[in-house]
Structure 1
Amino acid sequence: MNRTSSGVDEEVELSKLVVAENEDSALYHNSDVDKKKKNHKAKYPKHVFLIIGNEFCERFSYYGMRTVLVLYVRNFLGFGDDDATTLFHAFTMLAYFTPLMGGIISDSMWGKYKTIIILSIVYIAGHGFKTVAAIPYIPHRSAHITLSVIGLLLIAVGTGGIKPCVSSFGGDQFQSGQDVYRKQFFSLFYFTINAGALLAKIIMPIFRADLKCFPGEDGPLFEECYSVAFGLPGILMIIALVLLVFGSSKYTKTPPSGSIFLRFCKCIYSACKNRWNTKPAERNKAHWVDYADATSRMKRDTKYVLGVLVIFSPLPLFWALFDQQGSRWTLQALQMDRYWGSYLIKPEQMDTINPILIVTLIPLFEATLYPLLRHYKIPFTSIRKMGAGLILAGLSFIVTAMVQFEIDKTLTPLPSTDQFAVRIINTSPHIINFKSDHSIFDALILKPNEVSKTQTEFMETNEWKFLNLTYSIENKESSSQSISIAVKPSKITEVVISGEDADIWFQSDLLSKQPEDGSGIVGFVNSDRGKYYVKFDDDPGLTMQLEPMSRSRGIRLPVGSNYYFVYDIGETGNNTKEMLFKGEVDIKLSGIYSVVLISSKHEKKNIHSMEYENANQIEDVNHFRVSVAWMIPQYVLITVGEVFLSVTGLEFAYTQAPPNMKSVMTSFWLLTISLGNVIVIMVAQMKSIKRQAHEFLLFAGLIAIASIVFIYLGRRYTPVDEDEFEKDKIEDAEEDVQI
Structure 2
Amino acid sequence: CFVAGKKLYVIKTPAGNVLGKVSTCIGREHWLDNADDKYDRGLIEDIKSLLRVLVLFIPLPVFWALFDQQGSRWTFQADRMEQDIGSWTLKADQMQVLNPLLILIFIPLFEVAIYPFMTKCRLISKPLHKMIWGGLLAAAAFVISGIVELNLLPTYGTPLVEGYSQLRVYNGFNCNYTFTSFEPYNNSTSDFNIGPLSVYENLEMDAITFPNISYALRGVNGECIDNPHIGSFSVSSSTANSFFINNQGIHAFVDNNDKPIDGVYVRFLVNSARAVPVTIVDSSKNRTKLSLDSNDKGQKKISKGSGDIIVDGQTVLKDFKFRAGAVYTINVYNDSNSIFVANPLTITPPNSVHILWLIPQYVVMTMGEVMFSVTGLEFSFTQAPATMKSVLQSVWLLTVAFGNLIVVLIVEGHFLNAQVKNYRIFYRKNGKNC
8 Å contact 2:172–2:269 — kept in the other structure? no
| Partner SS for 1:452 | strand
Aligned AA (1:436): F
Cα deviation 1:358-392 (Å, max 9, x = unaligned): 11111222232234456677644211111111111
| Partner SS for 2:351 | coil
Matches within 5 A, 1:169-184: 171-173=9-11
Quote the residue 2:241 is aligned against: 493
**Matches of 2:45 and 2:288 in 1, distance apart?**
79
1:318 and 2:63 are equivalent in the alignment: yes
Over 3 Å counting, the alpha-carbon distance change for 1:307 and 1:629 in structure 2 is same
Quote the residue 1:524 is aligned against: 268
Cα distance, 1:495 vs structure 2: 1.7
Give the counterpart of 2:217 among 450, 465, 471: 471
Give the counterpart of 2:25 among 267, 274, 286: 267
**Matches of 2:429 and 2:289 in 1, distance apart?**
55
Q: TM-score, normalised by structure 2?
A: 0.87
8 Å contact 2:281–2:289 — kept in the other structure? no
Identify unmatched segments of 5+ residues in structure 1. 1-48, 56-166, 174-253, 276-287, 568-578, 611-616, 708-739
8 Å contact 1:546–1:552 — kept in the other structure? no
**Matches of 1:312 and 1:541 in 2, distance apart?**
54
Cα deviation 1:673-694 (Å, max 9, x = unaligned): 2211111111122111121101
Give the counterpart of 1:344 among 89, 106, 110: 89
**Matches of 1:458 and 1:309 in 2, distance apart?**
55
**Matches of 1:423 and 1:699 in 2, distance apart?**
37
Quote the residue 1:595 is aligned against: 330
Over 3 Å counting, the alpha-carbon distance change for 1:541 and 1:591 in structure 2 is closer
8 Å contact 1:319–1:677 — kept in the other structure? yes
**Matches of 1:608 and 1:379 in 2, distance apart?**
69
Give the counterpart of 2:32 among 289, 294, 302: 289
Give the counterpart of 2:396 among 669, 680, 686: 669
Which has more helix, going by share of residues?
A: 1
Over 3 Å counting, the alpha-carbon distance change for 1:478 and 1:427 in structure 2 is closer
1:607 and 2:334 are equivalent in the alignment: no
Over 3 Å counting, the alpha-carbon distance change for 1:346 and 1:297 in structure 2 is same
1:422 and 2:164 are equivalent in the alignment: no
Cα distance, 1:668 vs structure 2: 1.7
8 Å contact 1:511–1:554 — kept in the other structure? no
Aligned AA (1:622): P
| Partner SS for 1:529 | coil
1:639 and 2:366 are equivalent in the alignment: yes
Which has more strand, going by share of residues?
A: 2
**Matches of 2:326 and 2:290 in 1, distance apart?**
20
Cα deviation 1:574-627 (Å, max 9, x = unaligned): xxxxx4444232211121112211244x331x32114xxxxxx11011111111
| Partner SS for 2:111 | helix
Cα deviation 1:244-301 (Å, max 9, x = unaligned): xxxxxxxxxx55421222222222112xx1x2xxxxxxxxxxxx53222333322222
Q: Which has the higher contact order (CA 8 A, sep 6+)?
A: 2
Cα deviation 1:617-639 (Å, max 9, x = unaligned): 11011111111111111111110
Cα deviation 1:62-103 (Å, max 9, x = unaligned): xxxxxxxxxxxxxxxxxxxxxxxxxxxxxxxxxxxxxxxxxx
8 Å contact 2:164–2:207 — kept in the other structure? yes
Over 3 Å counting, the alpha-carbon distance change for 1:619 and 1:430 in structure 2 is closer
Matches within 5 A, 1:581-730: 581-584=315-318, 585-600=320-335, 602-604=336-338, 606-610=339-343, 617-707=344-434
Quote the residue 1:199 is aligned against: none
> How many residues get paired?
422
Quote the residue 2:277 is aligned against: 533
Give the counterpart of 1:556 among 293, 296, 302: 302
Cα distance, 1:306 vs structure 2: 1.2
Q: TM-score, normalised by structure 1?
A: 0.53
1:329 and 2:74 are equivalent in the alignment: yes
Cα distance, 1:338 vs structure 2: 1.8
Identify unmatched segments of 5+ residues in structure 2. none
Give the counterpart of 1:257 among 7, 11, 15: 15
**Matches of 1:422 and 1:335 in 2, distance apart?**
25
| Partner SS for 1:52 | coil
Cα distance, 1:464 vs structure 2: 6.6
Aligned AA (1:626): V
**Matches of 2:86 and 2:432 in 1, distance apart?**
41
Over 3 Å counting, the alpha-carbon distance change for 1:704 and 1:557 in structure 2 is closer
Aligned AA (1:583): L
